[in-house]
Structure formats: C-alpha cells, structure tokens
Amino acid sequence: MCTCFAVLEKKNFEKEPYCCDLSKPKTVLQTYDVSIYPLPHKDDWLISESVLGEIILPPKYKRPPGRPAKKDRGKSGRDMFGKKNINSCGACGAKGHNRRSCRKYRK
C-alpha cells in the first residue's frame, strides 16, 4: 500500500481526489493477473539467415557540442601564486623595471 493511502486513511480523508487510479492497490494487483512466460534458452531461438548475416556496427562517436572543459595543467604552488609578469626594460633589457624608471636610460 502506498504511503499516501496510509496517511489519508489515518486522517479519515477520501482517497479519490488525491490519488490516481493507477496507484490504487486493486489496480496494482490487476497488473500481475496476466501470466508471464520466460523466454526459451538462447540455443532454442529461431533466427532467420538474413538476420544472422547482417553486420551491426556501433554508432560512430560524435563529439558533443560546446566548449571543452578546462584541464588542470598540474602547476606547482609557486607558479600558481607567484608573480605572473616580470617587467623588463625596453632600453637596457634588464628585468625588474621599465624604461620610465631605468637609471641607465635618461632622456
């Protein structure tokens, strides 16, 4: 019995407006009235030659649409949290400063 039936019976409500006919116990029992016959063993199946001669291949893989997911590149902690860009001077080529703050290059 369904839990909704138990609650409705306990509260003394009518079941009709709240539950579908398919979920009633009487209907559920009627579904099992029909006899079910198991299939015979695979060796006893009668399969025509035209079906046996047919080659069935799996479907070809198709890449799903959309942007691919990001991949983790396995960077170390220093690479991830360290300083990303290092300035380099356009005049003298040294790293750590730019042309504006270069001591060797004066206008």
Q: The tokens of 30 are what?
A: 């009627």
Residue 3: helix, strand or coil by DSSP? helix
Which pLDDT score is estimated for 53?
87
Which pLDDT score is estimated for 63?
81
Specify whether the CB–CB gap between 91 and 104 falls below 8 A: yes
Which pLDDT score is estimated for 75?
63
Q: What is the 3-state secondary structure (H, E, C) of 43-82?
A: HHCCCCHHHHCCCCCCCCCCCCCCCCCCCCCCCCHHHHHC
pLDDT digit string (tens) for the chain, length 107 residues: 456 677 777 878 776 677 677 777 788 888 888 887 888 888 888 888 888 888 888 888 888 888 887 776 666 666 666 666 777 888 888 888 888 888 887 66
Which pLDDT score is estimated for 24?
74
Which pLDDT score is estimated for 14?
76
